[in-house]
């Protein structure tokens, strides 16, 4: 499928998606979300793809939020508004549940839907000129595509409540300080840093990465005892894989392991 609003490419084990609507600072409309969902569905089904990297076109903006024309259309079409919200939630859930790590490189503005999308990713890297925020409260609604849950898990209830209820943006330094992002780099380094991280992740055993991510995810909802039991069960599965045997063999032979995802 050819995309109008995305640039989608696969190199080796890494799939890269670029939100490409520079004329509106990569603001997201309904067709863009549908394209993104389609691309993610392809990534989910492709066993050769081990890592997702997602970013925005240009240096000014990752995603500035929802497209203004889309908002205007939705005011007059409740069915369109409902479909748009459902598609956003499904798409962000798909990123979180891929079973493959995702690296979000945020260049410049990451507001509203842009920040909410990033929260579903495994890693977030920002440029030092980035501004992040959830301004929805200023428009009479709140960020409801997972932000109240994911943001709170990431930075704690106190700071998440402040960001959601005031709608005030934060800069790159503050985002890094509160643990919202993994790394803050210069605009010039953002792409290469994200690609380097994606490359490192792609070298790992995909089945081991998937199981580790599942253990972390289950731990958010489980009690300490049940979480530890689930972790032990997944570890047992992991140790029986060909990749685990390859890892030990490579260590003994002093070479780089060749993981096959089996």
Give residues with Cβ within 8 angstroms of 79, minimum separation 6.
none
Given its phi and psi angles, is residue 61 left (phi above 0), alpha (psi -120 to 50 degrees) or beta?
beta
**At 232, which CATH number?**
1.10.12
Q: Which domain holds residue 13?
A: 6-202
Confidence of residue 50 (pLDDT cuts 50, 70, 90): very high
Let me know if residue 138 belongs to a domain. yes
Identify the three-state secondary structure at position 173: helix
- pLDDT bin (cut points 50, 70, 90) of residue 181 is very high
The more confident residue out of 95 and 217 is 95
Structure confidence at residue 223 (pLDDT): 64
* Counted domains in the chain: 2
- In the structure, what pLDDT confidence band is assigned to residue 218 with cuts at 50, 70 and 90? confident
pLDDT at 227: 65
- 137: in domain: yes
My answer on whether 215 and 197 are in the same domain is no
**What's the CATH number where 36 sits?**
3.90.226.10
pLDDT at 222 over 70: no
In a domain, 10, yes or no: yes
37 belongs to a structural domain: yes
Q: Which residue do the tokens 């803050």 mark? A: 184
Handedness of CA 57, 54, 2, 4 (dihedral sign): negative
Q: Which of 121, 48, 58 has the alpha carbon at shortest distance from 91?
A: 121
pTM of the model: 0.87
| DSSP-derived pairing of the beta strands 123-127 and 51-56 | unpaired
Q: Which regions of the chain does DSSP assign to beta strands (E)? A: 6-11, 14-19, 51-56, 61-63, 102-106, 109-111, 123-127, 131-133, 170-171, 183-185
- Please indicate, yes or no, whether residues 147 and 243 belong to a single structural domain of this protein: no
């Amino acid at each position: 499928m050819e995309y109008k609003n995305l640039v989608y490419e696969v190199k080796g084990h890494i799939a890269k998606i670029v939100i490409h609507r520079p004329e509106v600072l990569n603001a997201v409309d309904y067709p863009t979300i549908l394209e993104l969902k389609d691309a993610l569905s392809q990534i989910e089904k492709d066993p050769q793809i081990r890592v997702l990297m997602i970013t925005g076109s240009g240096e000014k903006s990752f995603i500035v939020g929802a497209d203004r024309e889309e908002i205007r259309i939705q005011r007059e079409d409740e069915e369109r508004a409902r479909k748009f919200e459902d598609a956003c939630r499904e798409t962000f859930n798909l990123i979180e549940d891929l079973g493959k790590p995702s690296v979000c490189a945020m260049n410049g503005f990451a507001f509203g839907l842009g920040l909410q999308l990033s929260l579903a990713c495994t890693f977030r890297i920002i440029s030092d000129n980035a501004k992040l925020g959830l301004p929805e409260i200023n428009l009479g609604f709140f960020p409801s595509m997972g932000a109240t849950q994911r943001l709170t898990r990431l930075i704690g209830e106190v700071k998440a409540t402040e960001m959601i209820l005031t709608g005030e943006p934060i800069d790159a330094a503050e985002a890094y300080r509160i643990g919202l992002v993994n790394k803050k780099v210069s605009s010039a380094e953002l792409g290469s840093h994200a690609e380097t991280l994606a490359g490192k992740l792609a070298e790992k055993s995909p089945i081991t990465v998937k199981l580790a991510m599942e253990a972390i995810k289950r731990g958010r909802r489980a009690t300490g005892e049940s979480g530890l039991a689930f972790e032990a069960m997944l570890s047992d599965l992991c140790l029986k894989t060909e990749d685990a045997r390859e890892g030990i063999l490579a260590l003994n032979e002093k070479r780089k392991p060749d993981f096959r995802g089996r």
